Amino acid sequence: MKTPFLLSAATAAFVFLVLACGPDHTGDSPDGPIAWGFDAGAPPVDAGPGPEVLPEPELTPEPEPQPSPEPEPQPSSEPEPQPSPAPEPEPAPEPEPAPEPAPACPFVQVTGTAGYPLNVRPTPDTSGAPVGTLVEGQTVAALSGTEGEAISGETWWWQIETAAVTGYISAVYATCTDETPPEPTAGFLLPLTCGTSTTVTQGNSSAYSHNGIANYAFDFGLPLNTPLLAMDHGVVLMAKTDITPGHPCYNGGGAECANHVNYVVLGHSDGSATLYLHLNRADVQLGDGVVRGQLVGHSGGTGWSTGPHTHVQRQSQCGSWWCQSWPLAFQDVPGTGVPVVWQTVTSQNGCGG
């Protein structure tokens, strides 16, 4: 499905950028490929969605917004929501306190933001500056709920918590769910041929760029054209290969190259996907079924990168190539299976047995 581009010259001036990936051996190599555009007059998401600019998930290249390396602060002044009188419940016949107006909810999923980040507020209203943002499709723990400012007639706010932020989001943009991100299948192996060693140049939860959407990503320092293997069985959900020699983003580039990058996304039976980013080329095609250890591409330095390396992450299947990352543990990494920065790991993928 194509996302219509509504970017205008005005929106291009207000681009919110989420970085991903980061330094390699020689220095910074940001490879974060996402950018959201804001129209100057568009309301923030917790007062109503506006036009969106999403990373292009299709094979066809399209004009991209000019990403800005500086995250744009959420607009601080917000239009007043339309006052909507909350329906008063019928007086209870007994004097007991009314039950909680919303059922207990272990998790909420961010919905209906039209691709915008969702503001997390310090209080259940829009008076305070946002303390963070969530991405559409993200599932977070709901600590409690409370009545607050009416947004589009909805007065309920969830108090949510992630590793990065605690605060309130309007129930307009959150759906109660008891679903949690699926546990790793324990079926993932490093994306390298049997016996190949590499160094993790950026691990999970880094201050640099593996946070937020990319929190559970890994960067591996790899020479150009290193074969990359499927980390688990799957099917090719997306493959972008249009960045070829001669393209200004072929051998790395700055923020303007954030979306000009080759990648493969595999979908897995546990509901997750895996992303193989900065490829020189892909060796699979859309819809291909692949088995663990099958060649999916060759490493490169396409996109926002200072040179060849590979960024991989396990992520949700959100309809884009850039989705909320989920924990990823490799069977062939000793201990927890989660390598840390500067750790050297050796792949057992494709070794057989």
- CA dist list (Å): 288 to 61, 217, 315: 21, 24, 19
State the nearest-atom distance from the C-beta of 215 to Zn ion, in Å: 11
Q: Is 222 in the site for Zn ion (CB under 5 A)?
A: no
* CB of residue 156 to Zn ion, shortest distance in Å: 37
Q: Tokens 């419940």 sit at which residue? A: 89
Which residues sit opposite 139 in a β-bridge? Answer: 109
How many angstroms separate the Cα of 144 from the Cα of each of 97, 131, 141?
A: 18, 18, 9
> Considering beta carbons, is residue 21 or 249 the nearer one to Zn ion?
21
Q: Residue 176 or 340: which CB sits closer to Zn ion?
A: 340
**Nearest residue (CB) to Zn ion, 32 versus 49:** 32
**CA–CA dist 38, 116 (Å, integer):** 8
| Residue 314 binds to Zn ion (criterion: CB under 5 A) | no
Nearer to Zn ion (CB atom), residue 174 or residue 217: 217
Nearest CB to Zn ion, comparing residues 11 and 306 = 306
Q: How far is the CB of 309 from Zn ion (least distance, A)?
A: 8
Question: Of 7, 21, 120, 172, which one interacts with Zn ion (CB under 5 A)?
Answer: 21
- Out of 219, 232, 270, 283, the only residue in the binding site for Zn ion (CB under 5 A) is 219
Nearest-approach distance from CB 341 to Zn ion, in angstroms = 11
Query: What tokens appear for 178 in the block?
Result: 């008891």
Pairing status of strand 310-316 against strand 272-277: antiparallel
**Residue 145's beta-bridge partner residues?**
158
Strands 107-110 and 174-177: antiparallel
Residue closest to Zn ion (Cβ):
21
Q: What region does 152 belong to: left with phi over 0, alpha with psi -120 to 50, or beta? A: left
Q: How many residues bind Zn ion (CB under 5 A)?
A: 4
Region of 318 on the Ramachandran plot (φ > 0 left; ψ -120 to 50 alpha; else beta):
alpha
Residue 278: CB minimum distance to Zn ion, A: 8
Please identify, using beta-carbon distances, which residue of 298 and 311 lies nearer to Zn ion: 311
Buried-exposed string 289-312: b where 16+ CB fall within 10 A, e elsewhere: ebebbbebbbbbbbbbbbbbbbbb
- CB of residue 20 to Zn ion, shortest distance in Å: 5
Question: What backbone phi and psi angles, to 5 degrees, belong to 253?
Answer: 170, 180
Residue number, 44 or 297, with CB nearest to Zn ion: 297
Task: Identify which range of 138-146, 168-176, 215-223, 281-289 contacts Zn ion by CB under 5 A.
Answer: 215-223
Residues 282-311 that bind Zn ion (CB under 5 A): 311
Question: Could you say whether residue 239 binds Zn ion (CB under 5 A)?
Answer: no
260 is a site residue for Zn ion (CB under 5 A): no
Q: Compute the chain's Rg from CA coordinates.
A: 21
> Which of residues 174 and 266 has its CB atom nearest to Zn ion in the complex?
266
Q: Which residues bind Zn ion (CB under 5 A)?
A: 21, 217, 219, 311
